[in-house]
């Protein structure tokens, strides 16, 4: 698995309350790749309209696991909403995998979904449709403009915290209370 070392990879972008873009308001995005050409990430706190069972069925992949079939697929972002992205742990080789951080990977190939359906895929995995993308320098400017709070990625947040709690939990992991953030900012 190729290792992509970049300054912002394996960080969470937590949308600050002032970010009103409907695609990203109250979102939490895992930055998966960042380099001089831009950045790519996957939102981890928005449900899509699909279950994993529906996605697997559309792909002609069968699974007997009711838990897997009922798993919610994430809305990973507005870019390439027709493409699947699997965030997962493990050290197994897949056809198309990017190393996000220590023991955290992003795979876009069918083989990981087939393995999940057979019951021999990664222990922890979430599937998203679509991703988020930024052009060269765009994300850096948004950080300067205070659109995002930067938080180190934590596995328990990615795989264990319920979707509706991830925005506040991500900020809370570094001591920020987003509910009170807007009323406190700008005061001396």
Rounded distance, CA 117 to CA 108, Å?
Answer: 15
Indicate the pLDDT class of residue 18, thresholds 50, 70 and 90: confident
Pairing of strands 38-43, 125-135: antiparallel
Under a CB-based contact definition with an 8 Å cutoff, are residues 137 and 143 in contact?
no
pLDDT of residue 185: 46
Other C-beta atoms closer than 10 Å to the C-beta of 132 total 23
Q: What mean pLDDT do residues 179-187 have?
A: 57
State residue 44's pLDDT score.
Answer: 98
- The sign of the dihedral angle between the CA atoms of 134, 140, 144, 148 is positive
Task: Report the SS3 class of residue 32.
Answer: strand
Question: What pTM does this model have?
Answer: 0.91
- Mean pLDDT over all residues of the chain? 91
Contact 28, 173 (CB under 8 A): no
Q: Which strand (E) or helix (H) includes residue 85?
A: strand 79-88
The secondary structure of residue 139, as a DSSP letter, is: H
């Amino acid at each position: 698995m190729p290792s992509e070392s970049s300054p912002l990879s394996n960080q969470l972008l937590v949308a600050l309350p002032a970010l009103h873009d409907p695609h990203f308001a109250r979102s939490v995005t895992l930055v998966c790749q960042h380099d001089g050409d831009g950045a790519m990430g996957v939102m981890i706190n928005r449900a899509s309209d699909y279950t994993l069972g529906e996605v697997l069925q559309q792909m002609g992949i069968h699974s007997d696991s009711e838990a897997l079939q009922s798993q919610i697929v994430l809305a990973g972002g507005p870019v390439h909403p027709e493409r699947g992205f699997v965030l997962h742990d493990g050290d197994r080789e897949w056809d198309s995998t990017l190393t996000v951080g220590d023991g955290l990977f992003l795979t876009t190939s069918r083989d990981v979904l087939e393995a999940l359906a057979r019951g021999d895929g990664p222990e922890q995995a979430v599937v998203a449709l679509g991703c988020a993308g930024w052009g060269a320098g765009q994300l850096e400017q948004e950080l300067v403009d205070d659109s995002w709070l930067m938080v180190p990625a934590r596995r328990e947040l990615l795989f264990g915290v319920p979707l509706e709690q991830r925005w506040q939990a991500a900020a809370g992991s570094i001591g920020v209370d987003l509910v009170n953030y807007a009323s406190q900012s700008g005061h001396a």
